[in-house]
Structure 1
Amino acid sequence: MAKRSIIAQSIGLLLLAACTTPDSLKDFDSTTWKNDRFGCDNQRAELVDDFELIRKEMYGKKEYVVRNVLGKPDSEELMERSQRIYFYYIEPGAQCQDRRTRMSEANRVQVRINSLGKVSEITYYKPVTETAKPE
């Protein structure tokens, strides 16, 4: 009996450790991001530079890591072959007046989750273009 208990506790600890946020993503202010649902308080816009620092590290991470770091998506789209796209608004827009309507034209982060449940792409709806370098 004691051996089964030790095995069960070990498995429990492994599962708990597997659901945590990686250290490389812990410096991101997840709480502020999560509290600004639909980007209506404009707090996510202030975190875009910080998000950009962790964006590349999120590639290949499991879906639960995305939810731990960014929270529940503001909207999601189911694609073919069990792929999904999570949408996180980063600026206020029509979604702030009526959250039940279709997608607003406000800028947003789009996180593509592949059929294996891993992040395969992270883009912006309206990417900010860099200013042209003088010749």
Structure 2
Amino acid sequence: MIVVNYRYSFTFAFKYTPMKNRFFSFSLLVALAVMLGFTTACSSKLEMEGVDFEAWKNDRGGCKGDRLASVETFRPLKDELLGKDNQALMKTFGRPDQVELADRSQSFFIYFAEPGPECNQFVKKDEEPLKIILRLNALNRVSEVTITRTNPW
């Protein structure tokens, strides 16, 4: 045992461990980190009552109007999305229509409920199309869900 005395009268002692034990401890730590990574990295699809997500995925950009029909069903359930990660969102809602990057590594996933700018029948009006905006924090977790016609930036 090696003891180190400091000037302010406290002692720090540690035991020398042979290289073999250190390697075993390090490999055990790495194995635990890998197992933790595998268990937390896999996200599953979200389940929400009353929202047809297959129709949602097939209505890219809100062009068909299928998303608009499920917005009122979605509105009371939007708080269930808080804390969910981006992979679970993509498995549930499909790829976002737009992704906006913000400061401090935040991002916005935007899904159009009404025909958006990518649609053939899109006509520029005085007001923006209705959209669902999911704000993701730096850890890629949903921190805010907004259904609006305005842009957050």
Say whether the fold is shared (TM-score over 0.5). Answer: yes
- Identity score, percent: 32
Q: 1:86 to 1:98 in 2, by over 3 A?
A: farther
Structure number with higher relative contact order (C-alpha < 8 Å, ≥ 6 residues apart): 1
1:84 counterpart letter in structure 2:
S
1:62 match: 85
Residue 15 (structure 1) shift = 4.2
Residue 58 of structure 1: how far off its partner (Å)? 0.3
Q: Which runs of 5+ in 2 are unaligned?
A: 1-30
CA RMSD of aligned residues (A): 2.8
Partner in structure 2 of residue 87 of structure 1: 110
Question: Which residue identity does 1:114 align to in structure 2?
Answer: N
Q: Which structure has the larger Rg?
A: 2
Report whether the alignment pairs 1:20 with 2:48: no
Matches within 5 A, 1:71-86: 71-86=94-109
Amino acid at match of 2:90: R
Deviations 1:66-102 (A, max 9, x none): 1111110001101112110011000124431399xxx
How big is each residue's C-alpha offset from its partner over 1:84-133, in whole Å with a ceiling of 9 and x where there is no partner? 0011000124431399xxxx921110100100110000102228xxxxxx
Counterpart of 1:47 in structure 2 is 70
1:16 deviates by 9.1
Letter in 2 for 1:46: A
| Structure richer in helix, relative to its length | 1
Distance 1:69 1:78, change over 3 A: same
Q: Is the 8 A contact 1:94 1:105 kept in 2?
A: no
TM-score, structure 1 normalization: 0.70
Task: Kindly tell me the number of residue pairs found equivalent between the two proteins.
Answer: 111
